[in-house]
Structure formats: structure tokens, C-alpha cells
Chains A and B, each alone.
Chain A
Amino acid sequence: MGIVSPGFQGRPRTQEPALPPGQYLTEDFPVLSAGPTPRVSLDTWEFVISAENGSEHRWSWQELMALPQETPMVDIHCVTRWSKLGTNWQGVSLDTLLADVDTGAHFALAHSYGGYTTNLPLDDLRGGQAWVVHTFDGAPLPAEHGGPARLLVPHLYFWKSAKWVRGLRLKTMDEPGFWETAGYHDYGDPWREQRYQGD
């Protein structure tokens, strides 16, 4: 039996993009929701970071828009097994929002209009890894995808990217959120396939 060689032309063997284990590629943008879609007016919208010492940092919509804007292009991976590559967003880095927050906390509980929560290590919200985004593909983020604004933490399963985000509570102790208290993994790294507790 002969040896099959990929040849010397350097042509890639496959055009398939690398996906985390157990994921399939979709060109759609599926809408997942655990409840009714909140309709939040931009006049009353606010984003609040509450530190563990009780101090609060608060931004109105106009104040959020006045902050430096970034345009991350990222791959997103849903725990229900779809992945979507090269998605285009615009928003404000959590590095910017956390810059003036005096905290020794190691954890954050993101909370949303409508009552959703999800927990993350604070380090995963820093270092250019997370944003509050308000624009998708050049248009205002539709409500069914989390508009006016959602969290975007693309290196973790997408349930961590809380829709309709309203704020972060910084905590010294980890406090599991909505899906994390119902069997889903506390951290949710798609590359380690951390779907359920104990994975």
C-alpha cells in the first residue's frame, strides 16, 4: 500500500474551519430564549457595575455611546452545539468599563433585564476578552438577540454572553447564575467541551 502524501505545494488539506469539539457550523443566527423578550427603552436603559464594597458605577445609553468603541470580529459557540464564525459586533470593552472600578473581587454575576443571570471569573472579562455590544453586522442589535445591549464573551459558551445585560455584580465568592444552577458548567469553555457540571 502506497504512502499518500499531501504533496509539496503547500495546499491546505481541508477548508473546514476549526470548531470546538461537538459543534457544527451554522450560517444562521439562531434565537434562543428562556423567557419573554424584554423591550428596554434607550431613555431608561442603564448599565451598572456594583463592586463588592457597595460602590456603583453607572452608565446611561448616551454615556455608553460616548466611550471608546471597539469592533470585535469573533467566533461564537452555543452550548446547543451550533457555532457561527466571524461575527461582527460593535461595543465597549469591559476593560474600559472596569478601568475605574476599585475592586478585589474575583467573580462577576452578570444580570439582565428580564431576570437572567450568568456568572464569570472577573479575569475572563478583562484583557480584551469581553464587551458590552449594541451593534451586530452594522445595525442596532435586535431585541431577540439581546438588544439594546448584550454581553459578548466569545471564548466561553454563548450562554455566558448575557442578552439584555443590565449590569455586573462583582463578588468575592462565585455565585452560579441561571443555567449554572440548572446543571450547566460553572465556567463553560467550548474547547474543553465544558457543557454540564462535572465535564
Chain B
Amino acid sequence: MTEMSYLDGNMLDGPMRELFTVDLSSAMGRCENCGTTGSMASLHVYSHAPGLVARCPSCEEVMVRLVRGPDRAWLDMRGTTYLQVPMPMEQTFPGPL
């Protein structure tokens, strides 16, 4: 019997760019359930479903759910403690006066 396949987290990048300007595939995320921290690109994304369901590759708990209606979207990230997003280096902070 064929196991239901999943995609890797890179496929979240396009749908998430509809909502945010962040490149999610380059971000790190922490699983709220098991504490594993890793690349969002490593998540297991189940897309043959009424929405996208991204699961932690370690414990398989849900970290992200994204439902896209015709004129609305719902994003649930309660399974993600935080996202660590690469940012451009800030300009040199001015020293003490």
C-alpha cells in the first residue's frame, strides 16, 4: 500500500508570499510540541487536503496550517513557537554619546 506522500517545506514559500514578504524557506522554526528547531524547508507538507498542513519532521505534530478561500486566507501557526528570519545587517549602531 502506498503511504500518503508529503512535500517539503519549500512548497510553503509561494502560498506564504501571498501573505508576507518573508522568504519562509530560509527561516528557522521551533516546534511547539517537541522543541525541535530547524529549517522550515524541512517540514513535511500535506497538500492533498482542504488546506496546507505542515508538520514537524521529528514528531509529526502540526506546525502550520494555511487555508486559502477564494477571497480570504487563514493562517494558524500555534504549533510554531517562533520563526527565526534572516535579516539584512543593521547599520552600525551609534556609540554612546
Interface residues of A (CB under 8 A from B): 30-37, 79-80, 115, 142-144, 159, 179, 181-184, 195-196
Across-interface contacts of B46 in A (CB, < 8 A):
33-35
Cα(A189)–Cα(B50), bound, Å: 15
Cα(A36)–Cα(B6), bound, Å: 9
B3 interface residue per 8 A CB criterion: yes
- Shortest CB-to-CB span from B11 to chain A, Å, is 15
- Shortest CB-to-CB span from B30 to chain A, Å, is 20
Cα(A144)–Cα(B3), bound, Å: 8
Query: Contacts A144-B2, A183-B72 given: A34-B49 contact, CB under 8 Å?
Result: yes
Interface residues of B (CB under 8 A from A): 1-4, 46, 48-51, 53, 55, 60-62, 65, 67, 69, 72-74, 76
Cα(A144)–Cα(B4), bound, Å: 7
Across-interface contacts of A182 in B (CB, < 8 A):
51, 65, 67, 74, 76
B50 contacts A159, CB within 8 Å?
yes
Could you say which of B2, B61, B72, B76 contacts A181, with CB atoms under 8 Å apart? B76
Cα(A144)–Cα(B60), bound, Å: 17
Across-interface contacts of A36 in B (CB, < 8 A):
3-4, 55, 60
A183 contacts B3, CB within 8 Å?
no
Across-interface contacts of B67 in A (CB, < 8 A):
179, 182-184, 196
